[in-house]
Amino acid sequence: MPLLRTRNLRLSFGGPALLDGVDLSIEAGERVCLVGRNGCGKSTLLKVLEGRINPDDGDIERRQGLKIASLDQQLPENFSTSVFDCVAEGLGKLGKLIRQFHHLSFKLSQQQDRKLLEQLAVAQHELENQDGWTLEQRVETVLSQLSLDPDARFDSLSGGIQRRVLLARALVSSPDLLLLDEPTNHLDIQAIEWLEVFLGDFDGTLLFISHDRSFLASLATRIIDLDRGVLTNWPGDYPTYLKRKQDWLETEASRQAAFDKKLAEEERWIRQGIKARRTRNEGRVRALQKMREQRLNRRLVSGSAKMRSQNGETSGKLVVETIDAAYSFADRPLIRNLNTTILRGDKVGIIGPNGVGKTTLLRLLLGELQPQQGTIRLGSKLEIAYFDQRRAQLDEQRSVIDNLADGRQFIQVNDQQRHVISYLQDFLFTPDRCQTPVSALSGGERNRLLLAKLFSKPANLFVLDEPTNDLDIDTLDLLEELLAEYAGTVLLVSHDRMFLDRVVTSTLVFEDEAVVNEYVGGYSDWLRQRKSCKPGKLPTADKQGAATDRPKPHSAKLSYKHQRELDQLPQHIEQLETEIDDIHNCMSDPDFYRLPNDEIATKKERLSTAETDLQTAYRRWEELEQLKPG
Per-residue pLDDT tens digits for 523-578? 998 988 875 444 333 333 333 333 333 333 333 445 656 677 777 888 888 788 78
Give the CA angle between residues 439, 363, 533 to the nearest 5°: 120
Low-confidence ranges of the chain (pLDDT < 70): 77-78, 93, 95, 103, 106, 108-110, 124-134, 273-282, 296-312, 389-392, 531-562, 588-590, 593, 626-630
Percent above pLDDT 70 for the chain: 84
The long-range contacts involving 411-415, CB below 8 angstroms and separated by at least 24 positions, are 411/456, 413/308, 413/310, 413/456, 414/308, 414/310
Alpha carbon 574 to its chain's center: 33
Cα four-point dihedral sign 204, 208, 210, 216 = positive
CB 353 within 8 A of CB 510: yes
H-run or E-run covering 62: strand 57-62
CA-closest candidate to residue 514, choices 625, 410, 406, 372: 372
Helices 114-129 and 132-145 cross at an angle (nearest 10°) of: 100
Q: What are phi and psi of 489, to 5 degrees?
A: -105, 145
CB 467 within 8 A of CB 387: yes
The model scores a pTM over 0.95:
no
Q: What are phi and psi of 158, to 5 degrees?
A: -70, 165
CA-closest candidate to residue 94, choices 131, 57, 122, 58: 131
Name every residue whose Cβ is closer than 8 Å to that of residue 28 and which is 6 or more positions away in sequence.
Answer: 2, 3, 176, 205
Q: What CATH architecture does domain 4-240 belong to?
A: 3-Layer(aba) Sandwich (3.40)
**C-alpha to C-alpha distance for 391 and 387, rounded to whole angstroms:** 7
Give 123: exposed, middle or buried? Use CB within 10 Å, 0-12, 13-18, 19+.
buried
Residue 299 has what pLDDT? 56
Tens digits of residue pLDDT in 318-356: 999 999 999 998 888 999 999 999 999 999 999 998 878
CB 11 within 8 A of CB 62: no
Residue 550 has what pLDDT? 33
In the DSSP assignment, the letter for residue 629 is -
Supply the DSSP string of 84-139, one letter for each residue: HHHHHGGGTHHHHHHHHHHHHHHHHHH---HHHHHHHHHHHHHHHHTTHHHHHHHH
**C-alpha to C-alpha distance for 515 and 326, rounded to whole angstroms:** 10
Q: Which CATH number fits domain 318-529: 3.10.20.600, 3.40.605.10, 3.90.79.10, 3.40.50.300?
A: 3.40.50.300
Query: Top-level CATH class of 560-627?
Result: mainly alpha
